[in-house]
């Protein structure tokens, strides 16, 4: 791994895709507004200052937001042919993929941190379980990493950002619904067990209950590793 | 500088490049001529390491293309650029990726900005530039790290006659201490800029001639080209 070129690429990705692009600002603003709105709704309707409803909505909410961030990452480079420049610079596919992943992850975490004022409100109004809040944020971060790695993979498969967007959403929606209780309860026990294990939401739920299970941690990390590796393979297959 | 031996590239059942061999030396401009789909761009992409050959060997100063990226300057077909960058940001990015030190990068920036006359557009975003300026930015980026081998895929395509002349002058100037390979549709361009031409047709080398030899033999490049590439 060439750290110097990774750092230069990372700088370029953050600056080019998020700082000078309006998409980054729109994403951050929309994400914050929706999160705050969901939180306030609960605060006034059920008279409860809790972050749990917000954390339980994140998997579904991010499922639409993150593919919008990742859809361009490779598809646009292919469409505008700049990937020919990128892939003939003195660096490798590994550094290129990792830089795009890390930049998108950093940006998504930054957007998520905009919900910190809500944590402060909860702290002022009630007596929250800080351990659960911390493990939930950790879980969301892992979930974001999984969504982004999958989105980057879909973006590497096509020149069309819309195809990449719809591909990522479809895959994540199927994965999301497979992890829901009402889907799993209709399946034979063994099959339900296998399918729930492959569902991101299933693993994420433990984090929102204040736990950090090692097997879920391994699952999330493996997911990211597999999709980043598939993206590298997809870039290398430009020959065919 | 560049040696290509028995190079072949297939896409599925289609042979884009078929066992071609050639070389390019420092101080020489080699022109790739050929009709659309002849295999010129594929050959360039193989030499830059963007594509991997099915057969054959490419060496640049003894190194395979993927290990020689720092020795290569490449202007791809249609001059792709990061349009939201300003020329200065883009040139810095390419320079940093080529591991130029801060002082070296400053010197090279100064050199390419002066030689390609892009000083007045440095802080505009690339998307707002005219086609001619975009082409200059692409050329400046391909030369920012002072590469020894420069590949240009149709560098004057889409430019007006004045801009074409300007770019040709620049190519001639930079060719003094580099090996330059350019692909072009314009035979007049090949005549004015190249020392040697390689005519590619259906992925094969149909002819390889020094322009001085053609002149000596009183052979016309136009006639040779149309005879070899007629369907």
Q: Per residue in B166-207, pLDDT tens?
A: 888 888 888 888 999 999 888 888 888 999 999 999 999 988
At residue B187, the pLDDT reads: 85
**Which positions in chain B have a beta carbon within 8 angstroms of at least one beta carbon in chain A?**
11-12, 45, 48-52, 69-70, 72, 74, 76-78, 80-85, 89, 93-94, 96-99, 141
Q: What is the pLDDT at residue A38?
A: 81
The answer to whether residue B71 is domain-embedded is no
Q: Are residues B86 and B186 in the same domain?
A: no
Residues B178 and B139 in one domain: no
- Alpha-carbon distance of B46 to B40, in angstroms, equals 10
Chain B positions touching A89 (Cβ under 8 A) are 69, 94, 97-98
Q: What angle do CA A108, A211, A62 make, to 5 degrees?
A: 25
Residue-wise pLDDT for A81-125, tens only, equals: 999 999 999 999 999 999 999 999 999 999 988 888 888 888 888
User: Could you tell me if residue B199 is inside a domain?
Assistant: yes
Q: In what order do the strands lie in the sheet with B149-153?
A: B72-75, B149-153, B179-184, B28-33, B196-201, B204-210
pLDDT of B25 reads 92
**Predicted local distance difference test score (pLDDT) of residue A23:** 82
pTM: 0.91
- Do B5 and B116 have their domain in common? no
Do residue B15 and residue B31 come from a single domain?
Answer: yes
| B142 and B80 assigned to the same domain | yes
Name the band, by pLDDT with cuts 50, 70 and 90, for residue A150: very high
Q: In this structure, are B116 and B155 located in the same domain?
A: no
CATH number for the domain harbouring residue B18: 3.40.50.300
Most B CBs within 10 A among A16, A90, A91, hence the mutation to make, goes to A90
Question: Nearest CA of chain B to the CA of A13: how many Å?
Answer: 11
Residue B69 within a domain: no
- Please check whether residue B5 lies inside any domain of the structure: yes
User: Nearest 5 degrees, angle CA A77-CA B149-CA B60?
Assistant: 95
Within this chain, do residues B93 and B52 fall inside the same structural domain, yes or no?
A: no
**What is the mean predicted confidence (pLDDT) over A200-224?**
92
Long-range contacts of A32-36 (CB under 8 A, 24+ apart): A32/A111, A32/A114, A32/A115, A34/A61, A35/A61, A35/A114, A35/A115, A35/A118, A36/A115, A36/A118
Residue B23 lies in a domain: yes
- Which of A5, A82, A88 lies at the smallest CB-CB distance from B50? A88
Q: What is the model's pLDDT at position B24?
A: 93
Alpha-carbon distance A94 to nearest alpha carbon in chain B (angstroms): 14
Sort out which chain A residues have CB atoms less than 8 A from B12's CB and list them: 240
Q: Using CA atoms, how far apart are residues B7 and B4, in angstroms rounded to an integer?
A: 7
Say whether B50 and A84 touch across the interface (CB within 8 A): yes
Number of domains in chain B: 2
3-state DSSP of A75-127: HHHHHCCHHHHHCCCCCCHHHHHHHHHHHHHHHHHHHHHCCHHHHHHHHHHCC
Same-domain pairing of B56 and B155: yes
Instruction: Tell me, yes or no, whether B187 and B87 share the same domain.
Output: no
CB–CB of B50 and A87 under 8 A? yes
In a domain, B68, yes or no: no
Q: Based on the domain organization, do B161 and B54 belong to the same domain?
A: yes
List pLDDT tens digits, range A176-199: 988 888 888 888 888 888 888 889
Measured torsion, CA atoms of residues A213, A214, A219, A222, in degrees rounded to the nearest 10: 150
Q: Is residue B7 located within the same domain as residue B55?
A: yes
Range of the domain at B190: 1-61+149-206
pLDDT digits (tens, 9 = 90+) for A14-63: 999 999 888 888 888 888 888 888 888 777 777 666 788 888 888 998 99
Nearest by CB to residue A12, choosing from B69, B93, B141, is B93
Domain end point (choices B147, B165, B194) = B147
- Top pLDDT among B220 and B201 is at B201
The predicted complex's ipTM stands at 0.89
**Among candidates B69, B83, B89 on the partner chain, residue whose Cβ is nearest the Cβ of A90:** B69
Q: Are strands B55-60 and B179-184 parallel, antiparallel or unpaired?
A: unpaired
> Which residues of chain B are within 8 Å of residue A15 when distances are taken between CB atoms?
89
> Is residue B106 domain-resident?
yes
B51: which chain A residues are within 8 Å (Cβ-Cβ)? 238-239
In terms of CA atoms, which chain B residue is nearest residue A239?
A: B51
Domain final residue pick, B147, B162, B184: B147
Q: Domain end: B119, B147, B175, which one?
A: B147
> How crowded is residue B119: how many other Cβ atoms within 10 Å of its Cβ?
11
Please compute the mean of the pLDDT values over residues B16-20 and round it to a whole number: 93
Answer whether residue B222 is part of any domain. no
Residues B6 and B17 in one domain: yes
């Amino acid at each position: 791994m060439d750290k110097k070129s990774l750092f230069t690429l990372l700088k370029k990705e953050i600056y080019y895709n998020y700082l000078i692009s309006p998409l980054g600002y729109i994403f951050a603003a929309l994400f914050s507004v929706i999160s705050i709105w969901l939180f306030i709704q609960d605060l006034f309707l059920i008279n409860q200052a809790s972050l749990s409803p917000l954390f339980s909505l994140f998997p579904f909410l991010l499922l639409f937001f993150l593919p919008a961030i990742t859809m361009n990452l490779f598809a646009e480079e292919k469409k505008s042919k700049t990937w020919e420049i990128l892939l003939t610079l003195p660096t490798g596919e590994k550094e290129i993929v990792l830089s795009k992943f890390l930049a998108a992850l950093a940006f998504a975490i930054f957007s998520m941190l905009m919900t910190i004022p809500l944590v402060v409100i909860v702290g002022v109004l009630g007596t929250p379980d800080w351990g659960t809040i911390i493990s939930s944020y950790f879980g969301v971060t892992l979930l974001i990493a999984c969504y982004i790695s999958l989105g980057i993979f879909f973006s590497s498969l096509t020149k069309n950002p819309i195809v990449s967007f719809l591909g990522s959403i479809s895959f994540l929606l199927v994965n999301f619904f497979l992890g829901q209780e009402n889907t799993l309860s209709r399946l034979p026990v063994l099959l339900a067990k296998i399918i729930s294990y492959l569902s991101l939401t299933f693993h994420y739920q433990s984090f929102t209950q204040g736990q950090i299970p090692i097997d879920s941690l391994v699952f999330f990390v493996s997911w990211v590793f597999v999709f980043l590796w598939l993206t590298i393979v997809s870039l290398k297959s430009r020959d065919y | 500088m560049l040696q290509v031996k028995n190079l072949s590239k297939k896409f599925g059942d289609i042979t884009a490049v078929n066992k071609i061999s050639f070389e390019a030396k420092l101080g020489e401009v080699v022109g790739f001529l050929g009709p659309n789909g002849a295999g010129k761009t594929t050959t360039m992409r193989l030499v830059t390491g963007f594509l991997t050959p099915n057969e054959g060997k490419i060496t640049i100063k003894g190194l395979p293309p993927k290990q020689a990226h720092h020795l290569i300057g490449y202007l791809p077909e249609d001059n792709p650029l990061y349009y939201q960058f300003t020329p200065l940001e883009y040139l810095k990015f390419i320079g940093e990726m080529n591991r130029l030190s801060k002082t070296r990068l400053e010197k090279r920036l100064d050199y390419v900005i002066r030689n390609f006359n892009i000083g007045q557009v440095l802080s505009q975003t690339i998307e707002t530039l005219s086609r001619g300026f975009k082409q200059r930015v692409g050329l400046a980026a391909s030369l920012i790290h002072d590469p020894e081998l420069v590949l240009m895929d149709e560098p004057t395509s889409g430019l007006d006659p004045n801009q074409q002349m300007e770019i040709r002058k620049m190519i001639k100037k930079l060719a003094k201490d580099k090996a330059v390979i350019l692909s072009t549709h314009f035979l007049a361009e090949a005549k004015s800029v190249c020392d040697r031409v390689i005519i590619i047709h259906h992925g094969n080398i149909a002819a390889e001639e020094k322009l001085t030899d053609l002149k000596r033999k009183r052979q016309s490049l136009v006639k040779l080209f149309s005879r070899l590439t007629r369907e």
